[in-house]
Amino acid sequence: MSPTDTAKKEIVQKEMTLNMGPQHPATHGVLRLVVDLQGETVVGCDPRPGYLHRGIEKWMESRTYHQIIPITDRLEYITCMNNNLGWVVAVEKLAGITVPERAQFIRTLMAELTRLSGHLVWLGTHALDIGAMTVCMYTLRERELILDLTEIVTGARQTVSYMRIGGVRNDIPRDFIDKCREFTELFPKRLEDYDTLIRRNRIWLKRTVGIGVMTPEDAVNYGLTGGTLRGSGVNYDLRKVEPYAAYDKVEFDVPLGKNGDVYDRYIVRISEMRQSVRIIKQCLDMMQPGPITTDDPRYAIPDKMQVMQNMQSLAHQFVLMSKWVPMPKGEVYVATETPKGELGFYIVSDGSGKPYRVKIRAPSYVHISALPKMVTGHMVADVIACIGTIDIVLGECDR
């Protein structure tokens, strides 16, 4: 064996362990990855979540059903509205509460606006990670419009706590409708702009096509949901499978990918944004005047004017806010489609005003578990593309 051969052999065999995160700008929060490298190629990957663990499930056990709504804002802090919705839908299933139609449409409308906002943050940061910096500037500009709309309705830009068990907190103001219509006219054009920036961009294609491929079987087996699953061509959207809010009354398509790579997931989410605009338009058209909270006297939070004027409403509001009312004994698992995927709440009720146990099935947590499968065999730079494509938020993953 000549000296050069020995040197070559040593280089090939030498494996390097690289620590990525938790404070890495491209890990979308405090995700830490321990990556084994053979040269530039990833041979192993061990995600280490938990840096943002706040014990939310434990905390929920000591709060009433109503007091948990603001906690759900802190799960996936980019799209709080969808988390609020997931929680109240689960509690309504547990207690058998019916929600009036106007509230259903408002919920759908706000959830889809928030979905757009979530997808814009995803697109901006994902493109930024891969090197297309311009897109991020544009997407955050449009997200600002959505946050303004959210502010008109809820008074807050983030952490909205807008949903209520049995309805929503307040009706939408009159000027919101016109501004929202303006936005739905403007947004599809802007979406075309981002799309033309990267859809056929040669560098973008090189970085995304054939990277992080998940076959439909693998994707299902790893429990992927949302756009990450539909990029592999599996038709599973909880808005269609088990419609909640007003999703059974509006028309929309479920975009599907073919190859299950980073590029297809990008196409799926871009198409989803077009569908969201379609849903928003229908909600604005179909919404009729009417009540916005349930008429079930046990769970209906009294109107503020009533609380100020009559004794019964005041007493009822006091009970609801301080200890809630007894709930039926039993357990439910209810899942909703958030921008990231399937957000499920498993609630065990012991009949009191506080849940006995809450388990949050967070899509980000499940998606990170599939990351080793996606990145093994690719280059180290592709790890960043894969983190972007599974669309994670660590607040939700670590809880």
Partner 1 sequence: MDSQQIAKMIEERFAGQVLGTTTFAGQVGVSLKKDMIREVCLFLRDEPTLTMDHLADLTAVDFSRYPGDQGPRFEVVYNLISIPFRHRIRLKVRVPEENPRIPSVAGVWNTANWHERETYDLMGIVFDNHPDLRRILLPEDWEGHPLRKEYPLKGY
φ/ψ of residue 209, rounded to 5: -70, 130
What is the closest distance, in whole angstroms, from the C-beta atom of residue 218 to partner 1 in the complex? 8
What is the closest distance, in whole angstroms, from the C-beta atom of residue 225 to partner 1 in the complex? 8
What is the closest distance, in whole angstroms, from the C-beta atom of residue 291 to partner 1 in the complex? 24
Interacting residue ranges for partner 1, rule: CB under 8 A? 49-50, 53, 55, 57-59, 61-62, 93-94, 96, 218, 220-223, 234, 236, 241-242, 328, 330-333, 335, 342, 344, 346, 348, 350-351, 356-357, 359, 361, 365-366, 368-370, 373, 398-399
Return the number of the residue (221 or 322) whose C-beta is nearest partner 1.
221
Return the number of the residue (111 or 368) whose C-beta is nearest partner 1.
368
Rounded to whole angstroms, what are the CA distances from 209 to 116, 192, 318, 382? 24, 20, 57, 11
Phi-psi sector, 347: left (phi>0), alpha (psi -120 to 50), beta? beta
Return the number of the residue (122 or 236) whose C-beta is nearest partner 1.
236
Q: Which residues in 290-329 are b (16+ Cβ under 10 Å) and which e?
A: eebbbeeeebbbbeeeebeeeeebeebbeebeeebeebee
Burial of 137 (0-12, 13-18, 19+ CB in 10 A): exposed
Radius of gyration of the chain (CA): 23
Return the number of the residue (109 or 366) whose C-beta is nearest partner 1.
366
Rounded to whole angstroms, what are the CA distances from 313 to 77, 270, 309? 33, 47, 8
Return the number of the residue (246 or 370) whose C-beta is nearest partner 1.
370
What is the closest distance, in whole angstroms, from the C-beta atom of residue 23 to partner 1 in the complex? 17
Cross-strand pairs, 28? none
What is the closest distance, in whole angstroms, from the C-beta atom of residue 215 to partner 1 in the complex? 12
Return the number of the residue (61 or 101) whose C-beta is nearest partner 1.
61
Burial of 5 (0-12, 13-18, 19+ CB in 10 A): exposed
What is the closest distance, in whole angstroms, from the C-beta atom of residue 343 to partner 1 in the complex? 11
